[in-house]
Amino acid sequence: AEMAKVLADSNHVPLHRLSLLVHSVSVTHKSLDSMPEDENWKALTRNSTNLRVYIMAFDVKSDDMLRILKPSIPLERIHFDSYITCVSGAVVDLISRQYDKFLTHFILMNDVVDMSGFPDLSDNRNEDPLVLLAWRCTRLSLLAVHGYTVWAHNLIAIARLRGSDLKVLEVTEESIDFDQGELADQ
């Protein structure tokens, strides 16, 4: 929060890019109370109107991410990488609702060793959070998913929604799953 206040001062040259690294170790040893609030982000973007933010999150719990992601962050790129925790569908849904104007890159990687299979972000809901992300975030040009279940029909929906604007759609083959009805048709 203090850094955001200093950077928001009109005496500073406007920022164009801010890269933030959030790691489970730093979140564990430091309180999230010092994180910038929405008012801090609003003040920073008033002076830096072209500011775009890139967040790399390593093994950060979904509850902590929900506290970090403020609506006024001009989030352009986000990269989740997990070895212990998994990102929730609620975090993906929040990102698609809050950052639909700026988000261009969304990377989701999970290296959690779990014999029961990859986590499914849709949580048995009708709407898949990744499909909603592709629908809401009209500037999305890169979507990479590794180690999470992506249903084949949702992968097709994502590709159709973004069309040729989606320059990179990268999904690990092992992440792609089919409904039993689809397998019968194949």
Q: Return the bridge partners of 142, or none.
A: 105, 168
CATH architecture of 14-177: Alpha-Beta Horseshoe (3.80)
Torsion of CA 173, 136, 24, 82, to 10 degrees: 0
Tokens representing residue 2 in the block: 């203090």
b/e per residue, 113-143, with b = 16+ CB within 10 A? Answer: eeeeebbebbeeeeebbbbbbbbbbeebeeb
Residues 115-146: tens digit of each pLDDT = 567 878 876 667 899 999 999 999 999 999 99
Rounded Cα gap, residues 82 and 185, in angstroms: 35
**Contact in structure between 186 and 179 (CB atoms under 8 Å):** no
Q: Which amino acid is at 80?
A: F
Residues 88-114: tens digit of each pLDDT = 899 999 999 999 999 999 999 998 666
Q: Return the bridge partners of 145, or none.
A: 108, 171
Averaged pLDDT, 55-77:
93
Distance of CA 51 to the CA centre of its chain: 18
pLDDT, residue 119, reads 78
Tokens representing residue 180 in the block: 């039993």
Residues 16-59: tens digit of each pLDDT = 999 999 887 776 666 777 789 999 999 999 989 999 999 999 98
35, 57, 92, 120, 147 from 167: Cα distances, Å: 33, 23, 20, 24, 21
Tokens representing residue 161 in the block: 């929604």
Rounded Cα gap, residues 107 and 97, in angstroms: 17
Averaged pLDDT, 61-89:
91
% residues pLDDT > 90 (the chain)? 54
Residue 107 CB-half CA count within 13 A: 15
Statement: residue 184 has pLDDT above 60: no
Averaged pLDDT, 69-73:
96
pTM over 0.85: yes
**Contact in structure between 59 and 88 (CB atoms under 8 Å):** no
Domain boundaries, the chain: 14-177
